[in-house]
Amino acid sequence: VVLVGDNPASLSYIKRKESVAEATGFATFDFRFSASISQCDLEGELRLIREHPEIDGVLLQLPVPKGLNSDALIAVLGSDVDADGLHPFHQGTTLLGLDGHPRPCTPLGVMALIDLAFWKRSQKASADHENDFPATWPLPRADLSGLHAVVIGRSALVGKPVSMLLLERNASVSILHSRTVKPDVMSSQADILVAAVGQPELVGANWVKSGAIVIDVGINRGPTGKLVGDVLFDQVAPRCSAITPVPGGVGPMTVAMLMKNTFEIFERNIAQAESSEQTSKKRGE
């Protein structure tokens, strides 16, 4: 875990990530740097971290302080240790729908929550276990053929990659952003609505189609200082078939997907080490 500066929200996010990592059996290494570190010095430190023999995956906590270029830092870390799935190579493999590569964690978490909503729907239709969580993981991948998904937000962190994952599942996807005219009208046509805007409680009941699945990615401070999402939960919840809360919805799933990505990088590294050991043996080295 690499943290630059002491942004209180970032500190609380990494604390949660580290405690989940420890609880699930990962060794964690904490690298903290002052907000005044230069781009050049930080890049040098990241080069050392990425070469550390015991480290499989690196999380660079975003956002980094003003004056630092996060794109350049992610590029320096390289794709091999990219547990976040945010390196341009992995944005590319996500766009192309190539399997076997880390994908951005928050979009992966959003898709897992959509799968959960469909799984619960199927349980409700077939039995009386509607509140149970599935006993096995991963859940069946929901096929979104014929459904309209609307994503509000087009960031590289959430909006764009989650749109690609929805498209991969055969949804017809609309992406809205700050220049969209009448976003509420477009949003109210969605069977699946993903809000990744960063505007406290922007999405009211009139933005949501009755029976929609609503995934709220936003984490914002409301006027009273309370954590709220992009969706006005109390107004929207009665209209939809499933909705994620803030806090407690997408956030924990993002952390879970960070663990999944890291574990998969670890497995790949083990497989590569075994294969090069076998090659050396064959050559008699």
Binding mask 222-251 for ligand NAP (x = CB under 6 A): ----------------------------xx
Supply the minimum distance, in Å, between the C-beta of residue 195 and ligand NAP.
8
Residues 6 or more apart in contact with residue 271 via CB below 8 angstroms: none
Binding mask 43-62 for ligand NAP (x = CB under 6 A): --------------------
Does 111 contact ligand NAP by CB under 6 A? no
Active-site residues, by number, are 17, 61, 84
DSSP 150-202: EEE---TTTHHHHHHHHHHTT-EEEEE-TT-SSHHHHHTT-SEEEE---STT-
Using CB under 6 A, which of the segments 20-28, 88-96, 137-145, 172-180 binds ligand NAP?
172-180
Supply the minimum distance, in Å, between the C-beta of residue 252 and ligand NAP.
8
Does 154 contact ligand NAP by CB under 6 A? yes
Q: Considering beta carbons, is residue 170 or 227 the nearer one to ligand NAP?
A: 227
- Taking the C-alpha atoms of residue 187 and residue 175, their distance in angstroms, rounded to an integer, is 9
Supply the minimum distance, in Å, between the C-beta of residue 109 and ligand NAP.
7
Cis previous bond, 200, omega within 30: no
For residue 215, give the amino acid letter. Answer: I
Does 7 contact ligand NAP by CB under 6 A? no
Q: Considering beta carbons, is residue 16 or 121 the nearer one to ligand NAP?
A: 16
Does 196 contact ligand NAP by CB under 6 A? yes
Residues in contact with ligand NAP by the rule CB under 6 A: 106, 152-155, 157-159, 176-180, 183, 196-199, 202, 217-220, 250-251, 254
